[in-house]
């Protein structure tokens, strides 16, 4: 694991401290499997926020856009 991956993992763990450990681990595996997807999601959320959209609304709309890709990642990890 590179330094960037380590730092991202720690940041995600800090942000998701209220999420059960098992769900956090699934999310981390998803991130490690396809970090580019999560970078795209984060970038699009930030763009929507800069456009004046509420953070929760921006996140929900972007996540909905990438829902099928997220589901495919979950299925890939659970195999």
- The pLDDT tens digits of the residues spanning 24-75 come to 888 889 988 998 998 899 899 999 999 999 999 999 999 999 999 999 999 9
Q: In this structure, what DSSP letter does residue 51 have? A: T
pLDDT given for residue 46 in this prediction:
93
Q: Kindly report the pTM of this predicted structure.
A: 0.78
Per the CB < 8 A criterion, the answer to whether 48 and 58 are in contact is: yes
Question: What are the tokens at 64?
Answer: 């909905």
């Amino acid at each position: 694991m590179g330094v960037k991956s380590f730092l991202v993992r720690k940041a995600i763990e800090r942000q998701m401290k209220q999420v059960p450990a098992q769900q956090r681990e699934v999310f981390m595996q998803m991130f490690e499997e396809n970090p580019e997807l999560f970078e795209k999601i984060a970038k699009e959320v930030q763009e929507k926020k800069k456009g004046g959209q509420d953070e929760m609304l921006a996140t929900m709309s972007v996540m909905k856009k990438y829902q099928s890709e997220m589901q495919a990642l979950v299925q890939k990890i659970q195999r």
